[in-house]
Amino acid sequence: MKNRTLPAFIHVLLIFSALFHSHSTSVSAQEVEDEKEFSYSEESGKGPSQWGNIKKEWSDCKTGKIQSPIDILSRKAKVIKNPGRLEMLYKPTELIVKNRGHDISLQIHWLKSAGSIKINGTEYFLQQAHWHSPSEHAIDGRRYALEVHLVHQAKDPKVKHNLAVVGLLYKYGKPDAFLSKLLGNISATNGQIHEKPLGFVDPTHIDIRMGGKAYYRYIGSLTVPPCTEGVIWSVQKQVKQVSKEQVHAIRVLVHDKAEENARPVQPLNQREVELYSLI
């Protein structure tokens, strides 16, 4: 497949700059931002099977037992009836679209706090969101066209599970309204630094409706080096729609002609996947 050796971790990246500096840097300090250090192409010698060998700090990518993403088998998920809503406390915040012109091409900065979610009484603040194509998680063996990850972090570093990620899958269909607005405000800059105000945007416009629908919950890891474990994953069961043109636009603008930026699914290793349903 062509262009498999191009730099990795090339995806649309939204970084929500929190009101306090500790919020805005904590997650990014854990996730590797220099995608030249690793790749999604096995032919490069720095592909997913080698991530754990590149740096000792990335050993979890090789030896970890609760890694992400996974193939979610719906028939084996433990159904939790009426668990209460996944409480989302997002709020509109002013954004800036930034194309830095290098491997992580696009950034969006929330100039103030964009809100939080609550899981089991713990508040996790929205830090960043980014898209992977194809989807990283699979459901019953099927990977979809696109997946967005909304990354949250608890203020207290002593919380057992300090990170919580909400994942939404997309299949080909009608255009996604949020992506239409986002892509409409992004321009190619030929490597030049470029910023453009986007105005006030509500994170809920990504169309997260998990509070009223079913979602899968399991404990996993970051899907990029250093593959930190202990992440609470909430993957929406309902699959959203995105147009082929939108996925193509993301790949052209952000992937720098790379074909994909999705880590292969990882072994479940006896982990339990729960299906939270209000139905």
Domains of the chain (ranges, CATH numbers) = 13-277 (3.10.200.10)
* 9-37 average pLDDT score: 46
Structure token digits, residue 64: 């970890």
Examine the residue annotation and report whether 152 is marked as an active-site residue of this protein. Answer: no
Q: How confident is the model at residue 131 (pLDDT cuts 50, 70, 90)?
A: confident
Mean pLDDT across the chain: 77
Least confident of 4-8, 39-43, 124-128: 4-8
pTM: 0.82
What integer pLDDT is reported at residue 147 of this predicted model?
Answer: 92
* 222-242 average pLDDT score: 94
pLDDT per position as a tens digit, 132-143: 889 999 999 999
* Catalytic residue (one of 11, 21, 102, 255): 102
* 78-95 average pLDDT score: 74
What integer pLDDT is reported at residue 51 of this predicted model?
Answer: 96
Please say if the pLDDT value at position 189 is more than 60: no
